[in-house]
Chains A and B, each alone.
Chain A
Amino acid sequence: MSRQSRHVQEYGTTAIIWMAATMVVIPFLWLIGDLLWNGWTHLSWSFVFSAPQNAGREGGIGPILMSTMLIVGVCMGVAVPMGLGTALFLSEYTRHDHVLGRLIRGSLDVLAGVPSIVFGLFGNALFCQALGLGFSILSGGLTLACMVLPILIRTAEESFRAISREQRLSAAALGLSQPTTIRTILLPAAMPGLLVGGTLGLGRAFAETAALIFTSGYVDRMPESLMDSGRSLAVHIYDLAMNVAGGNPNAFATALVLVGLLLIINLFSSWIATRWTSLNQLPA
């Protein structure tokens, strides 16, 4: 290649790569801009706390926010202890190459890839029908719990495994029992990683729509118990956009609330992550 044509090639590829990067940025800014532009005008405290009226065209999202919190609460309430227990089992009670551990890990990897709509089908069949919970916040929350479990377990196991062997050995050398070691040494040391994993799962749960349509249902009234059907923010956006003519303004505002929530969760998570690494970089 002559020096001339090499320069042409170098400039050409540089231009292409900058163009590709720009093509990714533009729709992103466009989307965020649209959300802010159209959602901000409808956003107010009364929108956040009042009940929807006229199928959601008017009024706010109070009950929907409540249902969302309950669904996500049920989800995390079930998934966190289960995830923590499984992660402890995988990292503390089995060797890394143990057959049972590998089986569990493999099945969780597969579960992590299952599309959310399939979780919706499963939740509908198991929780709504077989267990007779019907369209309810409980059904929705349990379905989401199955969905976020693989993420929680994987991040939790990784943070337990990141703890050095020396820490465990010195705990054992002090004669601490396994439960005490876990409570006083391992859990605190793994806490930042556990929190990051938890916020990841939380984000997934808040963002989910497809798995909830046939499990927690569409009802937009204030839920009175976990057995009531309740509509999540994401389902509300879907319903307003697809089934309610003139629902777009409120859909924009709801989307802004949802994205704002996720942004806060995301910032919290990356704050923990950076704090963690900066703590770890301090000389011992």
Chain B
Amino acid sequence: MDLTQPTPRITPDSDERRGFRAWLPYQSTDPCCEPVAHIRAENLSIAYEGHQALRNVNLEINRGCITALVGPSGCGKTSFLMSLNRLTDLIQRCQVTGKLHMNELDVLAQTTDLLHLRRAVGMIFQKPTVFPFSIRKNLELPLREHGTHDRMRLNSGIENVLKQVGLWHEVKDRLDRPAQGLSGGQQQRLCLARALVLSPDVLMLDEPCSALDPISSGIVEDLIVSLRGHYTVLIVTHNLAQARRIADHIAFFWSFEGVGNLVEYGTAQTIFETPAHELTAAYISGARG
């Protein structure tokens, strides 16, 4: 498969950043993405209370890839994620403009069935947000909500998804105990299971490891890697090493005078070895941000 397929929308303008060559050897992860655009943003802008948070993002995310969104805090990465499943609707006076397509679906259209959209787009937050009831009920709630009531199918669905996140053997004897009794890492995996139980197309993770200890973080990271090819994964991370380990593509955001911009987008290899923009180069070398 051709790794150069996704075209960076911001063209390299000069060669002056050659000096910033990546200083670590790059180990390429097995390419697995189909070069098929799954999510397409055109001139996407987001504003809160009239203040721009993200300006004119143009981006095509490939089906089945892991795409990492990196950049300093406050440059609109989370806002971008939240616009994809229209969680931005929950925030007062938040305006999203531009075009956003997921396959053929116009995400930003008034007529879009939000519940249907959100079913197809799973989301994991920075802090594990298990609901304050049992492990079983945490997983059953979305299933029931989307039409599964049959006991057998519920049980098998729960078992499959818990096995998928490697939690089954840890919790199979205490499915009816409060989910908040789990450790942080287990809670985050439960959240992942809760998102996967709806078999979404897209999975968005907003710094899923930042609230976890290194060991749990490693487990969750391996899990994310195992999702490659099955889901289109978007992950916001501040951990460049992690982005480098797991991502096929990197989207680099930067905030100019408080407004977030997509500076560079490309394969992980390109971004880490031959970044086109000097900001990218500075950021990944640790000189800025």
Q: Which residues of A contact B (CB under 8 A)?
A: 1-3, 6
Contacts and interface: CB of A to CB of B under 8 A. Distances in A.
Interface of B: 113, 115-116, 144-147, 149
B145 A1 contact: yes
B116 A1 contact: no
A3 B116 contact: yes
Contacts of B149: 1
Contacts of B146: 1
A250 B115 CA distance: 58
B113 to A, nearest CB: 8
Contacts of A6: 115, 145
A11 to B, nearest CB: 13
Contacts of A3: 113, 115-116, 147
Nearest to B149: A1
A5 to B, nearest CB: 9
12 contacts: A1-B144, A1-B145, A1-B146, A1-B147, A1-B149, A2-B147, A3-B113, A3-B115, A3-B116, A3-B147, A6-B115, A6-B145
A6 B144 CA distance: 11
Given A1-B144, A1-B147, 10 more contacts: A1-B145, A1-B146, A1-B149, A2-B147, A3-B113, A3-B115, A3-B116, A3-B147, A6-B115, A6-B145
Nearest to B147: A1
B119 to A, nearest CB: 10
Contacts of B147: 1-3
Contacts of B116: 3
A283 B136 CA distance: 46
A1 B142 CA distance: 11
A3 B147 CA distance: 8
Nearest to A5: B147
A2 B113 CA distance: 14
Contacts of A2: 147
Nearest to B116: A3
A198 B144 CA distance: 51
Contacts of B145: 1, 6
A27 B147 CA distance: 41
A277 B128 CA distance: 32
Nearest to B144: A1
A1 B146 CA distance: 6
- The 9 nearest A-B residue pairs measured at CB: A1-B147, A2-B147, A6-B115, A1-B145, A3-B116, A1-B144, A3-B113, A3-B115, A3-B147
Contacts of A1: 144-147, 149
